[in-house]
Structure 1
Amino acid sequence: MFATVSYAQKSSENVFETTQDSIKKRYFIKHLGNGYLPTKYFNFDLRYLIKYNQYEGIRSGLGGITNDQFSEKYRINGYGVYGFRDGRFKYSFGGGFRLAKETNTWLNLSYTDDLQETGSTKFLTDGRFFQFFEPRLLNIDLFHKLVTKSVSIEHEFNPKLLTEAQFAVSNINPTYDYGYVLDGNIVSSFHLSTANVSLQWNPFSKFEVSENKLKETKKGYPQFTLQYTKSFKDVFKSDFNFSKLDFRTVYKIGSENNGLSEITLVSGITNGNTPLTHLYHAYPNNINKETVMQRFSVAGLNSFETMYFNEFFSDKFTTVQLKHYINPFNISEHYKPQVVLITRYALGDIKQPELHQNITFGSLKKGYTESGFEINKLLFGFGLSFTYRYGGYHLPELSDNIAFKFTFNVSL
């Protein structure tokens, strides 16, 4: 007896296989666009492959996290990297346990021995944001060593309101010559015990259930992020007692291919004895070199291009950034350069700068302003950026107020 297969059956099987291949391809590209190289049980994290900064030089390593095929209740993550200039190995490892599926509640533990940029603030609830490289990182030279043990809990009150709370114990050692005057003594390395609570509220985003998972189908604006940090003195030998309140909102009108306006407001304030490591900078991105062309580098996404690194630190500050994306030039199907108009403003102050020893910096109390434009996607994702500094912190030498750089924009 011979088995027979109809043409319709074969056609159906071919369609099924094509659909499956298409799904697998979309799955792969989606994860790659988020910075992961997916495998059966483990997704490699592309952020750790190779980077460069002024302190470590080339920084290279491997990292990743287990996926749902490994377990939907447990996850393990970690990375290891090596800095070729400082000759030091950095690493992190941790894991999580899901407490409730309905609210996506996770309990996490981690241990990290790495570097962190002085004056930077990270919101706990920030989603992954992957870039092929981080433009500002190339020029940063002010880092502190950070050894941190932490426990955190993630919880979704609803898809539009995400929260995360963390308690961490850290040993901090600046890589630069620095001391803080604390109770009459100069402290150059210190311990911190901190509690953080962060909220991310996206009231206008839309969600749908797809493949038994709730997924964001439309990003709505404005979006709001709020974070409170408290450092406790004498808890696990902590040296400092201070608090921080950080806020960010992003508002977008229109679409990038049809005229988009974007407003980003970031604000923060500290109270108490706060070391330089936990103060604020305004995300400067200008190298301290003499000529415009010597300062030629890569423009960041939300950084002040004419503000020099380590020029300002604040214990309270606000920045506003305005961007308007003009409709792309429709030269051909694959070649569509785009002009972006940009204005940035920063205002801040610091109460007792004399407490910070062996480092000199200014305040932002006169208000810092820069404006300029970008011409993006001129060739292979590269473009050009021009920015001019004016207002309260305009410099006497004209060329010192100018930043001329290239941009890089690629999306999968």
Structure 2
Amino acid sequence: MLKRCSLFLFIICTTIVQAQSFYEKNAEPRQDSIKKSEFIRSLGNGYLPTKYFNFDLRYLIKYNQYEGVRTGLGGVTNDAFSEKYRVNSYLVYGFRDHRFKYSIGGGFRVTKKTNTWINLSYTDDLQETGSTKFLTDKRLFQFFEPRLLNIDLFHKHVTKAIALEHQLLPELLTETELAVSNIDPTYAYGYPSNNSVIHSFHLSTAKLALQWNPFSQFGLTENGSKETKEGYPKFTLQYTKSFDNVFKSDFNFSKLDFRTIYKIRNKNDVFSEITLVSGIANGNTPLTHLYHAYPNNIRKETVMQRFSVAGINSFETMYFNEFFSDKFITFQLKHFLKPFNISERYKPQLVLITRYAIGDMKNPEKHEDITFGSLKKGYTESGFEINKLLFGFGLSFTYRYGAYHLPLFTDNFAFKFTFNVSL
């Protein structure tokens, strides 16, 4: 696993450096400074820009336990192509499951001032079981997604969707989506329905997502308002409704998901970050659309065999597929201490971390062919990270205690490395 992680990180870093060098060599000297700044900004948003098409770096290369190496290309047309229309697509291939995944989509802008778009998409891909994706998060980008390396519980989905993006206020972004999906778990799973047990199913859903940043500062651009200075707290709310017997949908359920992020800044680069995430599902909800608590620990015998990459907001000592809930709350506190001023360029930073999760499930017996636990007693872990020790790499140490403390002492430890790169 360590060799795979290192190779994965090396490929990403090499690709980024080579892309930047190529761009700089081909820029006009008198425009080099401006173009370089624009290039770095695009790269930080996850795009490698070209004249008419911006390549999306999210699809370049990834790794997980089900697909193995996942690689491909994707992107979206830019304003040079059209300011009113856009086309976005990707095609990837998993070398372990020997299967192509893809998405084809596009949109047209209704109103420029409020940056209102109507989007259409057709997607044939995988999604992690128990995960929640906020519609307004689709452009959040990480060069490296640590949890992805160890995930093995996915479900296939073929989804047709139509969505409306609208900037209701500078600080309030909304997105509404209507979708029809065919869901097929890649693992043994059954759910009782109408005197039988179904193993794959259809869903017809409506989603409404709100991203509210009331304390951020915004400025007007040619493409509407843009955030110029981040302010906290930030709030995200999403409501999902599944309708049975609509386009052959098998389930009738609703979900409400919430997240808030708050940063408390002090002097000398010292600050605290609080993240609160919660969700509740009502009705007949399959496991694919319930909640895990962002676990990031693999089931191996020793601490060093479990050595991998620490996530950003994940529970490092919680094993994958250990818990599922239909209602849950997670709380995370990170306190960033003043960086160690060893030299002008070498400044490692110590981060103190505490995480807590609590949840429950009303009818766990409805989820057949799979076993998992409950979080109703409350799950706690604490630890620390030392970041930016060498080329963005650091170390993480976390300990599991409280109600879900394990009998074998070493099973409660998680020792991993971290990876932090900022542009």
TM-score > 0.5, shorter chain as reference? yes
Runs of 4+ with deviation above 6 angstroms: none
CA RMSD across the alignment: 1.3
**1:144 partnered with 2:155:** yes
Query: 1:3 maps to which residue?
Result: none
Give the residue type in structure 1 aligned to 2:244: K
> SS of 2:137's equivalent?
coil
| 1:286-365 mapped onto 2 (5 Å cutoff) | 286-365=297-376
Equivalent pair of 1:288/1:295 in contact (CA under 8 Å): yes
For 1:337 and 1:375, how far apart are their aligned partners in 2? 7
2:214 maps to which of 203, 207, 217: 203
| 1:73-84 mapped onto 2 (5 Å cutoff) | 73-84=84-95
For 1:200 and 1:357, how far apart are their aligned partners in 2? 36
Give the deviation of 1:207 after TM superposition: 1.2
Give the deviation of 1:375 after TM superposition: 0.2
Alpha carbons of structure 1 residues 212 and 145: separation in structure 2 relative to 1, 3 Å: closer
Query: 2:237 maps to which residue?
Result: 226
Alpha carbons of structure 1 residues 179 and 225: separation in structure 2 relative to 1, 3 Å: same
Query: 1:121 maps to which residue?
Result: 132
Give the residue type in structure 2 aligned to 1:118: T
For 1:197 and 1:256, how far apart are their aligned partners in 2? 39
Equivalent pair of 1:371/1:387 in contact (CA under 8 Å): yes
**1:168 partnered with 2:179:** yes
> SS of 2:135's equivalent?
coil
Give the deviation of 1:127 after TM superposition: 5.0
Equivalent pair of 1:74/1:98 in contact (CA under 8 Å): yes
Query: 2:16 maps to which residue?
Result: none
For 2:379 and 2:393, how far apart are their aligned partners in 1? 28
Give the deviation of 1:159 after TM superposition: 1.2
Equivalent pair of 1:256/1:325 in contact (CA under 8 Å): no
For 2:226 and 2:205, how far apart are their aligned partners in 1? 32
Equivalent pair of 1:167/1:195 in contact (CA under 8 Å): yes
1:392 maps to which of 403, 408, 416: 403
Query: 2:102 maps to which residue?
Result: 91
Give the deviation of 1:132 after TM superposition: 2.0
Query: 2:382 maps to which residue?
Result: 371
1:215-262 Cα shifts (integer Å, max 9, x gaps): 311100000111000000000000000000000000001169610100
Query: 1:407 maps to which residue?
Result: 418
Query: 1:52 maps to which residue?
Result: 63
Alpha carbons of structure 1 residues 222 and 19: separation in structure 2 relative to 1, 3 Å: farther
| 1:53-68 mapped onto 2 (5 Å cutoff) | 53-68=64-79
> SS of 2:312's equivalent?
coil
TM-score by structure 1 length?
Answer: 0.94
For 2:41 and 2:309, how far apart are their aligned partners in 1? 26
The size of the alignment, in residue pairs, is: 396
Equivalent pair of 1:145/1:172 in contact (CA under 8 Å): yes
1:125-167 Cα shifts (integer Å, max 9, x gaps): 1152222221000000000001000000000111100000000
Equivalent pair of 2:112/2:223 in contact (CA under 8 Å): no
For 1:103 and 1:315, how far apart are their aligned partners in 2? 36
**1:70 partnered with 2:72:** no
For 1:266 and 1:105, how far apart are their aligned partners in 2? 28
Query: 2:252 maps to which residue?
Result: 241
Alpha carbons of structure 1 residues 284 and 83: separation in structure 2 relative to 1, 3 Å: same
For 2:224 and 2:165, how far apart are their aligned partners in 1? 17
Give the residue type in structure 1 aligned to 2:276: L
Equivalent pair of 1:389/1:401 in contact (CA under 8 Å): yes
For 1:213 and 1:165, how far apart are their aligned partners in 2? 19
Give the deviation of 1:214 after TM superposition: 3.0
Give the deviation of 1:102 after TM superposition: 1.0
Query: 1:12 maps to which residue?
Result: none
Alpha carbons of structure 1 residues 111 and 165: separation in structure 2 relative to 1, 3 Å: same
> SS of 2:342's equivalent?
coil
> SS of 2:164's equivalent?
strand
Alpha carbons of structure 1 residues 170 and 322: separation in structure 2 relative to 1, 3 Å: same
Based on CA coordinates, which of the two structures has the bigger radius of gyration? 1
Give the residue type in structure 1 aligned to 2:396: S
**1:194 partnered with 2:205:** yes
Query: 1:380 maps to which residue?
Result: 391
- Mind listing any 5+ residue stretches in structure 2 that lack a counterpart? 1-27
TM-score by structure 2 length?
Answer: 0.92
Query: 2:228 maps to which residue?
Result: 217
Give the deviation of 1:407 after TM superposition: 0.2
For 2:224 and 2:422, how far apart are their aligned partners in 1? 24
For 1:260 and 1:372, how far apart are their aligned partners in 2? 17
- Mind listing any 5+ residue stretches in structure 1 that lack a counterpart? 1-16
